[in-house]
Amino acid sequence: MTSPSMQATACAQPNIALVKYWGKRDAALNLPAAGSLSITLAALHTRTHLRFDPALAQDEVVLNGRRESEHTRKIGGFLDLFRARARIETRARIESGNDFPTGAGLASSASGFAALAVAADGALALGLAKHELSMLARRGSGSAARSIFGGFVEMAAGDRDDGTDAFATPLLDAAAWPLEVVIAITTREQKATSSRDGMQASQRTSPYYRDWIATVPGDLATARDAVLARDFEKLAHVSEASCMAMHAVMLATRPALIYWNGATLACIQCIRSLQAEGTGVFFTIDAGPQVKAVCLPQAAARVADALRGIDGVEDVLASGLGEGARLETVSA
Ligand code: PMV
Rounded to whole angstroms, the Cα distance separating 280 from 300 reads 9
- pLDDT value at residue 70: 85
Q: What are the DSSP calls for 162-229, one per residue?
A: T-TT--EEEEE-GGGS--EEEEEE---SPPSS-HHHHHHHHHHH-TTHHHHHHHHHHHHHHHHHHHHT
Burial (0-12, 13-18, 19+ Cβ within 10 Å), 58: exposed
What domains are defined for the chain?
A: 7-173 (3.30.230.10), 180-320 (3.30.70.890)
Q: Is the CB of 154 under 6 A from ligand 1?
A: no
Query: How much of the chain exceeds pLDDT 70, in percent?
Result: 97
Q: Is the CB of 25 under 6 A from ligand 1?
A: no
Q: What are the CA-CA distances from residue 233 to residues 94, 164, 239, 315 (Å)?
A: 43, 34, 10, 27
Atom of ligand 1 nearest to the CA of 246: 10
Spatial CB neighbours of 132, under 8 Å, sequence gap ≥ 6: 167
pLDDT < 50 stretches in the chain: 1-2, 4-5
> Residue 248's pLDDT is what?
98
Cα 233 from chain centroid? 23
Q: State which ligand 1 atom lies nearest to the alpha carbon of 105.
A: 9
* Beta carbons within 10 angstroms of residue 157's beta carbon: 21
Ligand 1 mean position to 138 CA, how many Å?
11
Quickly count: other Cβ atoms within 10 Å of residue 107's Cβ.
31
Look at residue 1 in the predicted model and tell me its pLDDT: 44
pLDDT in tens, 117-163: 999 999 999 999 999 999 999 999 999 999 999 999 999 999 999 99
Residue type, 67: R
Phi and psi of 151, rounded to 5°?
65, -135
pTM over 0.85: yes
Biggest distance spanned by C-alpha atoms of the chain: 63
CA–CA separation, 101 and 25 (whole Å) = 30
22 C-alpha to ligand 1 centroid (Å) = 7
- How far is the centre of ligand 1, averaged over its atoms, from the C-alpha of 127 (Å)? 27
Closest ligand 1 atom to Cα of 144: 1
228 contact partners, CB below 8 Å, separation of at least 6: 171, 172
Which candidate, 227, 217, 91, 231, places its Cα nearest to that of 172?
Answer: 227
